[in-house]
Amino acid sequence: MGYGILHKVIFVKYIQSNDRIILTELDSFDIASVLECGQCFRFAKLGEGFYRIIAFGKLLFIRRNAENTELFPTNSGDFESIWRSYFDLDRDYSSVKLMLAKDGEIMKNAVDFSPGIRHLSQDPFECLISFIISQNNRIPMIMKCVENICTRYGKEISEGFYAFPTAEELARADISGLSECRVGFRAKYIIDAVNKVLTGEIDLNKNTTLTTGDLRENLKKIKGVGDKVADCVMLFAYGRAEVFPADVWIIKAMSRYFFDGRDINKKELHSLAYERFGQHAGMANQYLYNYIRTLDTEKSKE
DNA sequence: ATCCAGGATCTCC
DNA sequence: GGAGATCATGGA
């Protein structure tokens, strides 16, 4: 398998300058790829390599320059307690990419297509609600729904910018309020998720101690959460790097690249992914997703 | 106008 | 336990 290699210990190099943190000598970090590869719905593009995000109640601007990437406004305290783990800055991506590329031509192409992807560690509750909204929906619409929910139910953290609401804050949401956020038939699912979190039936903090299988079944107790949404939450909020969410794009990619274009079911898709990509299946998923979705979307525009 | 989107559920058999 | 319709919404 070759997955047993211990990761190199990576020390992030950065300097603090006034209200910003400047990351130096950091490879495998392209903010455009990180945000636009489908794992996150709460960002805005302000220019080439220039984005605004809101996460963990903080507003942050990120700009990629020729020599470095800068985060502002922030400080070393927030950087150490939030952004360092949020952007997964301590992982050695070059070894991950090397292992995946060894699988073959397809994975090498997918990794080379967007080598600057990183695996965000998002807030579990925000991630859960966001991916409940994602079902049978389009990404621009998902982003609008999330934004509407924040504006309506979240705390204003600075003028015109709102944090994603906590479960307690979202408890005052009812069907009609959520419907005005344009979430459609998913409103009842959101309410069920909030209820189960507030009653403790689903403990989003305790989930760190569960096995991946138990965590998946636990999340699926929420109405509107099936395998795919649960897997996204596990991958994007709980750092379960071995899970492989099977969405329509991934099914298309796996069929085309690994099963000669024939119809496949999720069982054979997963067994191939887990066997070939092992503990990095989740990373493989992100490279593949970004690869096929970008290629096919551009092709359809022609 | 009709179809469809980072799916899940309900209803049939 | 598998196949098929249904679910809001808005853009193509």
Record the pTM: 0.96
Nucleotides of C under 7 A from a protein CB: 7-11
- The answer to whether residues A244 and A274 touch, using CB atoms and an 8 Å cutoff, is yes
Q: Convert the pLDDT of each residue in A257-287 to its tens digit.
A: 999 999 899 999 999 999 999 999 999 999 9
The CA distance from A48 to A200, in Å, is 43
Q: What is the Cα–Cα distance from A141 to A72, expressed in whole angstroms?
A: 28
CB < 7 A from strand C, the residues are A 136-138, 140-141, 179, 182, 184-185
CA distance A31 to A80: 18
Tokens of A295: 């290629």
pLDDT tens readout for residues A139-192: 999 999 999 999 999 999 999 999 999 999 999 999 999 999 999 999 999 999
From CA A28, how far away is CA A165, in angstroms rounded? 31
- Taking C1' of C6 and every protein CA, the nearest residue is A185
Q: Quote the pLDDT of residue A300.
A: 73
**Residue pLDDT, tens place only, A104-116:** 999 999 999 999 9
CA closest to C1' of C9 belongs to: A184
Nucleotide of closest approach to A183 (CA, C1')? C8
User: Tokens 């419907």, residue?
Assistant: A179
Is residue A268 within 8 A of residue A251, CB to CB? The reply is no
Residue nearest to nucleotide B9 (CA to C1'): A224
Cα-only R_g, chain A:
19
